C-alpha cells in the first residue's frame, strides 16, 4: 500500500459547474493576451460540455432555457474563426505544398475574423452575460450530487447512442450523417463526466472514434472554405482534390474500424 498517496475528494456538482463557468470566463482575457489557437478550441469544448450538462439538467426538470439560449450564441460566434484556425495550422505544417503568398492570404482573412470575434465578445458582453446566468442558475444545484442525476444522465447517453446506431449503417456514404454522429459522440463523452464514476476506457474509445470523424470533418469544412472563401489562392483546386482523396482514404479506415468493433462485440456476446 502506498502510504504517500493522497485521496482527493471529488468536487461537488455545484463547484464543478462553477469551475466550468470560470474556465470559460478566463478565456476572454486570454483571447486578448495570446494568439494560441487552442484557447478558442478549449473555450468551445467547455461551452459544448456545459450545454450537454444543461440538457441533462433540463431533463430532470431544472429551469435552463435562458442559459441554454445564451450558450448557443457563445458557441456560434467562434465557429468560422475555428475553421480558419485549423486550416491555417495544417497549411503551416505542410508549407512545402502552399506558397507563402497563399498562407499570408489565409492569415489575413483569419486576422479579420479574429477582430470580428473580439468585437462581438466586447460589444455583446457575451462572457459577462454567461457569468450572470451561471450565477443565477447555481443555487438550483445546492446540495445536489451527481448521483441525483444518474437516471437522467444514463437516459441521455442511451438516447444519443441509439441515434448513433441508427445512423451508422449508411454513415460512410453521407458526410452530413458522419458529422451528426461526431456531434452525438461528443455529447456522450461530455455526459459521461456527469456520472459519479467516470469510465476512462469508454472516454478513450470515444476519443478514438472522434479522431477519425474529426479528420474527415476538417477536410469537408476545408473544401467548403476553399470553394466559398479561398477560391483566389492558386493551390485551391489541388488542395480540394487532395482533401477529397484524404476523405476517401479515411472513410475506408472508418469502415474497417466499425467492422472491427462489430466483430469484437459479436465475440463478447457469443
Q: What is the pLDDT of residue 8?
A: 46
Query: Is residue 267 very low, low, confident or very high in pLDDT (cuts 50, 70, 90)?
Result: very low
- How do residues 98-123 score in pLDDT, each as one tens digit? 999 999 999 999 999 999 999 998 88
Residues 201, 76, single domain; the answer is: no
| Mean pLDDT calculated for residue range 121-149 | 92
Burial of 56 (0-12, 13-18, 19+ CB in 10 A): buried
The larger pLDDT score, comparing residue 134 to residue 33, is at: 134
Whether 4 is in a domain gets the answer: no
| Weakest-pLDDT range from 25-39, 57-71, 131-145, 214-228 | 25-39
Query: Is residue 262 very low, low, confident or very high in pLDDT (cuts 50, 70, 90)?
Result: low
Q: Which residues contact 114 (CB under 8 A, 6 or more apart)?
A: 35, 81
Q: What is the pLDDT of residue 33?
A: 86
Q: What is the pLDDT of residue 3?
A: 43
| Mean pLDDT calculated for residue range 30-52 | 92
Q: What is the pLDDT of residue 200?
A: 82
Residues 155, 242, single domain; the answer is: yes
Residues 159, 123, single domain; the answer is: no
Query: Is residue 9 very low, low, confident or very high in pLDDT (cuts 50, 70, 90)?
Result: low
pLDDT of 140 above 90: yes
Q: What is the pLDDT of residue 204?
A: 85
Residues 118, 151, single domain; the answer is: no
Q: What is the pLDDT of residue 10?
A: 63
Whether 229 is in a domain gets the answer: yes
Q: How many domains does the chain have?
A: 2
Question: Sign (positive/negative) of CA torsion 29, 35, 36, 37?
Answer: positive
pLDDT of 249 above 50: yes
CA–CA–CA angle 67, 71, 75 (5° rounding): 175
Query: What domain range includes position 48?
Result: 10-144
Residues 113, 82, single domain; the answer is: yes
Q: Percentage of the chain surpassing pLDDT 90?
A: 72
Whether 270 is in a domain gets the answer: no
In 3D space, the residue among 141, 186, 160, 204 whose CA is nearest the CA of residue 44 turns out to be: 186
| Mean pLDDT calculated for residue range 189-206 | 86
Query: Is residue 1 very low, low, confident or very high in pLDDT (cuts 50, 70, 90)?
Result: very low
Q: What is the pLDDT of residue 270?
A: 29
Look at residues 144, 176, 196 and tell me which one is the last residue of a structural domain.
Answer: 144
Long-range contacts, stretch 212-215, CB < 8 angstroms, 24+ apart: 212/250, 212/253, 212/254, 212/257, 213/178, 213/179, 213/181, 213/182, 213/185, 213/254, 214/182, 215/246, 215/250
Whether 3 is in a domain gets the answer: no
Computed over every residue of the chain, the mean pLDDT equals: 89
Whether 238 is in a domain gets the answer: yes
Amino acid at each position: 500500500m502506498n502510504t504517500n498517496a493522497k485521496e482527493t475528494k471529488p468536487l461537488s456538482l455545484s463547484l464543478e459547474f462553477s469551475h466550468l463557468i470560470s474556465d470559460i470566463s478566463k478565456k476572454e482575457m486570454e483571447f486578448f493576451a495570446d494568439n494560441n489557437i487552442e484557447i478558442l478550441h478549449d473555450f468551445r469544448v467547455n461551452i459544448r460540455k456545459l450545454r450537454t450538462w444543461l440538457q441533462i439538467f433540463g431533463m430532470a426538470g431544472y429551469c435552463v432555457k435562458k442559459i441554454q439560449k445564451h450558450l448557443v450564441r457563445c458557441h456560434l460566434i467562434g465557429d468560422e474563426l475555428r475553421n480558419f484556425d485549423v486550416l491555417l495550422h495544417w497549411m503551416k505544417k505542410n508549407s512545402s505544398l502552399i506558397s507563402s503568398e497563399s498562407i499570408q492570404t489565409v492569415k489575413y482573412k483569419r486576422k479579420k475574423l479574429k477582430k470580428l470575434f473580439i468585437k462581438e465578445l466586447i460589444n455583446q458582453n457575451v462572457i459577462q452575460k454567461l457569468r450572470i446566468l451561471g450565477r443565477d442558475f447555481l443555487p438550483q444545484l445546492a446540495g445536489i450530487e451527481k448521483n441525483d442525476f444518474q437516471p437522467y444522465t444514463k437516459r441521455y447517453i442511451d438516447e444519443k447512442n441509439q441515434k448513433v446506431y441508427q445512423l451508422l449503417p449508411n454513415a460512410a456514404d453521407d458526410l452530413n450523417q458522419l458529422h451528426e454522429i461526431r456531434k452525438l459522440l461528443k455529447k456522450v463523452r461530455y455526459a459521461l463526466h456527469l456520472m459519479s464514476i467516470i469510465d476512462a476506457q469508454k472516454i478513450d474509445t470515444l476519443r478514438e472514434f472522434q479522431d477519425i470523424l474529426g479528420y474527415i470533418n476538417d477536410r469537408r469544412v476545408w473544401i467548403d472554405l476553399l470553394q466559398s472563401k479561398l477560391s483566389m489562392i492558386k493551390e485551391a483546386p489541388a488542395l480540394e482534390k487532395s482533401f477529397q482523396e484524404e476523405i476517401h482514404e479515411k472513410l475506408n479506415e472508418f469502415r474497417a474500424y466499425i467492422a472491427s468493433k462489430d466483430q469484437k462485440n459479436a465475440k463478447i456476446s457469443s
